[in-house]
């Protein structure tokens, strides 16, 4: 098990602050994860913590944004994240204000989310996703181009 533990720093009530740490438990032993995690584990823990905080403190949260969430993740963790995000999308489909913004260069990860979404029952697949690219114009300047891509074309 991995959990977040908090502790209050000593000091006056006005200067009260809390420290948070990630702890892994095996049996009756707890181990502080600081300095023991790979880069991929730190990225995944960061994403899990953000999602947990959003679920805890933001009832009916409308937007979840992730920037390059697969950086430093191995294949299995990337697949697990894709499955988890697909399940979040499916469970939030009835929420009128929900949007998931994922900024990624990893098309394999997008395919993993699509595969998980298509396995969900009672859920209508999103019609498209948006792909942003950078292109040089006729004037030599660079411009952003936004294309709507049908899920079926992925």
The candidate with the shortest Cα–Cα distance to 154, out of 117, 128, 123, is 128
pTM: 0.64
Query: Rounded CA gap, 8 and 10, in Å?
Result: 6
Residue scoring higher pLDDT (16 or 42): 42
Rounded-to-10 torsion of CA 82, 86, 87, 89: 140
- Residue that has been written with the tokens 């996703």 in this structure: 129
- Check residue 140 and give its pLDDT: 94
What is the per-residue pLDDT across 61-114, written as a single tens digit (0 to 9) for each? 778 888 888 988 889 889 988 888 888 888 887 777 888 888 888 989 988 888
Query: Interhelix angle for 75-91 vs 107-119, to 10°?
Result: 50
Cβ within 8 Å of residue 100, ≥6 positions away: 63, 64, 65, 66, 85, 88, 89
Q: Are 51 and 66 in contact (CB under 8 A)?
A: no
């Amino acid at each position: 098990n991995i959990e977040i533990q908090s502790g209050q720093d000593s000091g006056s009530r006005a200067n009260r602050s809390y420290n948070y740490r990630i702890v892994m438990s095996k049996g009756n032993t707890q181990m502080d994860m600081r300095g023991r995690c790979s880069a991929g584990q730190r990225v995944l823990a960061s994403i899990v913590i953000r999602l947990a905080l959003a679920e805890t403190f933001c009832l009916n949260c409308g937007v979840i944004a992730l920037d390059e969430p697969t950086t430093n993740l191995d294949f299995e963790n990337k697949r697990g994240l894709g499955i988890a995000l697909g399940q979040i999308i499916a469970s939030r489909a009835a929420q009128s204000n929900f949007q998931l913004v994922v900024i990624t260069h990893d098309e394999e990860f997008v395919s993993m989310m699509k595969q998980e979404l298509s396995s969900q029952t009672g859920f209508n697949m999103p019609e498209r996703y948006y792909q942003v690219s950078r292109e040089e114009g006729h004037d030599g300047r660079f411009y952003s181009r936004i294309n709507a891509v049908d899920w079926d074309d992925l």
